[in-house]
Amino acid sequence: MRAANRFAAVLRNLLLAAAAIAMAFPFYWMATSALKTNDEIWRFPPTLWPQEALWSNFADAWQAAPFARYMFNSVFVAGTIVVLQILNSGMMAYALTHMRFRLKGFFTALVLVGYMVPATAVYLPGYVILGKLHLLNTYAGLIVSNSVSVFSIFLIRQAFLQVSHELVEAGKVDGASHLRILWTIIAPLTRSSFAVLALIAFIEQYNNYFWPMLITKDPDLQLVSAGLRSFFVEGGAYGLKWPLIMAASAFTIAPLLALFLVGQRTIMRSVDLAAGASKG
């Protein structure tokens, strides 16, 4: 019996290790391909580790396209959006949970409808409307059009529902305004939900590709995904310079992996919250 148990444990570990390697291998392959020379990368069979590691590929790729600019754009746009989403989700969720007004039911239903409609389906009319507002090809357009997220509102609403309404009443008795109650009493209590919002929204917006690509044609405004893709198609000449392309992919991915390492607890908590939110 004991031997069988031990065998099962070993088997389980082996299977898990195999799965983990399979999942992580593309990243390893990216990193080692980025270090190879153009000769070595076309050799068959491929080498698991470059014969001579060409670290200069990273510097070459960095200079081959305005990646510093792309990254700045991604971080700036994503960061601003996070701040805006924290503000408007907080206020909206507060109104929906701790204030009384006639349209409350209607607004809650609207948010629910928004949850069901696929965002990508309204990109075409959204594009036309953005054009009418003269916001195509601007930072403002990139930021404003993504400044609200139904998911974020939902997440914060769910957190605020857990906060006792008596706290709000007590704040009112002390003469505090609603804004004060929201940001000094309720928000600190639910800060873990806000942290989840910030991290998820940042990752989503940093990686965002389809919509930003549609509404900005100016290369100076490209986010990192679109910039990398145009480098892949033009600068990389579709696969003639694989080591440089892999190097560029690597430094695009690196900041996110770092952020993920730092924020992994928060991300894991988002799962708990999302699982809770799914039960309505």
Q: Which residues in 140-159 contact another protein (CB under 8 A)?
A: 144-145, 147-148, 150, 153
Q: Closest distance between another protein and the C-beta of residue 191, in Å? A: 20
Q: Closest distance between another protein and the C-beta of residue 234, in Å? A: 13
Q: Closest distance between another protein and the C-beta of residue 148, in Å? A: 4
Whose Cβ is closer to another protein: residue 189's or residue 259's?
Answer: 259
Residue ranges in 158-197 that form contacts with another protein under rule CB under 8 A: 178
Whose Cβ is closer to another protein: residue 7's or residue 27's?
Answer: 27
List the one residue from 6, 7, 15, 161 that touches another protein (CB under 8 A): 15
Residue ranges in 113-142 that form contacts with another protein under rule CB under 8 A: 114-126, 128-130, 133
Q: Closest distance between another protein and the C-beta of residue 32, in Å? A: 10
CA angle 96, 188, 262 (to 5 degrees): 110
Whose Cβ is closer to another protein: residue 176's or residue 256's?
Answer: 256
Does residue 266 interact with another protein by CB under 8 A? no
Taking the mean position of all CA atoms in its chain, how far away is CA 241? 28
**What's the CA gap between 98 and 133, in Å, rounded?**
34
**What's the CA gap between 203 and 199, in Å, rounded?**
6
Query: b/e for 151-168, b at 16 or more Cβ within 10 A?
Result: bbbbbbbbbbeebeeeeb
